[in-house]
Structure 1
Amino acid sequence: MSAFYDAIAPQFQQSRALPFRHHVEAYTYLNLIGEVTDQRILDLACGEGTYSRLLKQRGAARVVGVDISAQMIALAQQAEATQPLGIEYIVCDVQALGQIGDFDQVVASYLLNHAPTREQLLGMCQTIFANLKPGGRFVSINNHLEQPPETYGICEQYGFTKQISGDLREGTPITVSFPSEGSVFSIEDYYLSQDTYECALQTAGFPQVQWHSLSISPEGLQVFGADFWQDCLDYPPIIGISCQKPGASDS
């Protein structure tokens, strides 16, 4: 997995420029995360650090980014060297991370959808739970694995494709592809049901799991029009997830 992401790190970074990723993904995700002033944030599967930097710029007191790819972290550290924000970066598999702190929020973009088995999904969820303070929140944006495959075609107008070989069964690969400078790079996610996700998160210790619909930024609506975005609202290719660790909600 780490070698795969090392190879596509620059292309993955370029894909951030897609209007869908800015006006839908980032807008939905950051709204779910909400106020971060003076908070301690752990950003899992941080990639090249885009969201780590945005959260620090929005007032977080401490941000720690973790990714399995050394090349992704190298890009994040290059950005940190160019514009220092005081973000800490760690190269590590989330399942092997252990507890490194008591954070106000643990956030993760496209982490859980990389788990091919229930056991690996549970391992990720246990790491998330262990790193939250009592009352802390987990927020994620994730491939919407329950999107009906017959609606995958709507993704093309937003700059990417989704493909599946076979039925939606536990562990079935779902390939997400992005064009990049005349070529294409692909990421492999895995189908696990919404029930499996809820079971893993609840087994890890979260009493309740919330699923969140997508939102379109006002700028995205103004520039592209509401009709352009309707398909992604009707058949959302990604989805938000949030949970709260039991306990006091204050530091």
Structure 2
Amino acid sequence: MTSQFDGMAALHERSIDELPFRRHIEMPSVLAAAGGVEGRRVLDLGCGSGLYARFFARNGAAGVLGVDRSPGLIAHARHREEVEPLGVRYLVHDEATTDTLTGAFDLAVSVYALSYAATPAALARLCAAARATLAPGGRFVAATLNPDFATVPHYYRPYGFDLTVADPHLCDGDPVGLHARADGESFQVTAYYWSREAHERALTEAGFTEVAWQSPRTAADGSASLFARYLAAPHVLAVSARVPGDSSPR
């Protein structure tokens, strides 16, 4: 299996420092939307180089599995685990076909994976896959492209990246280019626009309830003033949903 991210492990790692909104806004927002991870079995869908998988382990998760379709990213994540053991496991596994993981987790997290679904069917498969991995009462949290992100050219450049669209009047499935630099090296990937309605439809059809959107928050480190313009039109939001059933601690 290959993906547009093969060979980008080092850039993925450096992005946490080169794109500071990730550390100061994205990560605390995901953790808040999840309601914390302590004592929970966590699946990181589309884990990339393992940034979030390691983050969850350090924040007290009972166990963490990272899955990604990119062999290069998983190889890097496994190497990091060898160097700095945190008890995280990694699998090269298409996040849309997680049938072998049925009901094994209390929390599934997807950072940007929904935004790389190119068709409504692909979006539906990802949500259904996340649903299948969760035990009754489990929660799914996705950091996904904000349906109301700023389409003004170079709006996000002060934060280290640009989003480009062919037409500012976006429709579901339209491509969105992400251009960024890390450590002097540029990279570009293609994401896809999905409205709130498209996200909510895919989640509810997968069997989730209690779909909710969370506005981003900043870390408690005095950085809010640095990101005022970003927070006025963040490019990413967290959406969460729940599997019906008992969520009593195990």
State the TM-score, normalized to the length of structure 2.
0.93
| SS of the residue 2:246 aligns to | coil
Gaps of 5+ in 1: none
Aligned residues: 246
Question: Post-superposition shift, 1:172?
Answer: 0.9
Q: State which drifts further: 23-32 or 175-184.
A: 175-184
Alignment of 1:24-103 (within 5 A): 24-101=25-102, 102-103=104-105
State the TM-score, normalized to the length of structure 1.
0.92
Q: Is the 8 A contact 1:146 1:194 kept in 2?
A: no
- Distance between the aligned counterparts of 1:21 and 1:148, measured in 2? 17
**Change in CA separation of 1:7 and 1:145 when aligned onto 2, cut-off 3 Å:** farther
Question: Post-superposition shift, 1:56?
Answer: 1.2
Where does residue 23 of structure 1 map in the other structure?
Answer: 24
Q: Is the 8 A contact 1:45 1:67 kept in 2?
A: yes
Q: Is the 8 A contact 2:98 2:133 kept in 1?
A: no
Where does residue 133 of structure 2 map in the other structure?
Answer: 131
Q: Is the 8 A contact 2:179 2:187 kept in 1?
A: yes
Gaps of 5+ in 2: none
Where does residue 240 of structure 2 map in the other structure?
Answer: 242
Question: Post-superposition shift, 1:9?
Answer: 2.1
- Distance between the aligned counterparts of 1:9 and 1:191, measured in 2? 24
Residues 157-207 of structure 1 deviation map (CA, whole Å, 9 limit, x = unaligned): 111110011241221110111113433101110012110110000000012
Alignment of 1:218-233 (within 5 A): 218-221=220-223, 226=225, 228-233=226-231
Residues 43-62 of structure 1 deviation map (CA, whole Å, 9 limit, x = unaligned): 10111111111111222111
**Change in CA separation of 1:176 and 1:220 when aligned onto 2, cut-off 3 Å:** farther
| SS of the residue 1:4 aligns to | coil
Q: Is the 8 A contact 2:98 2:132 kept in 1?
A: no
Where does residue 208 of structure 2 map in the other structure?
Answer: 206
RMSD of aligned alpha carbons: 1.6
| 168, 174, 177: which one aligns with 2:176 | 174
Where does residue 112 of structure 1 map in the other structure?
Answer: 114
Q: Is the 8 A contact 1:144 1:236 kept in 2?
A: yes
| SS of the residue 1:202 aligns to | helix
Give the structure with the higher percent helix: 1
Q: Which amino acid aligns with 2:35?
A: G
Question: Post-superposition shift, 1:31?
Answer: 2.0
Q: Which amino acid aligns with 1:50?
A: L
Identity of aligned residues (%): 34
- Distance between the aligned counterparts of 1:60 and 1:182, measured in 2? 34
Where does residue 6 of structure 1 map in the other structure?
Answer: 6
| SS of the residue 1:162 aligns to | strand
Question: Post-superposition shift, 1:99?
Answer: 4.0
Question: Post-superposition shift, 1:156?
Answer: 0.7
Q: Which amino acid aligns with 1:243?
A: A
Where does residue 160 of structure 2 map in the other structure?
Answer: 159
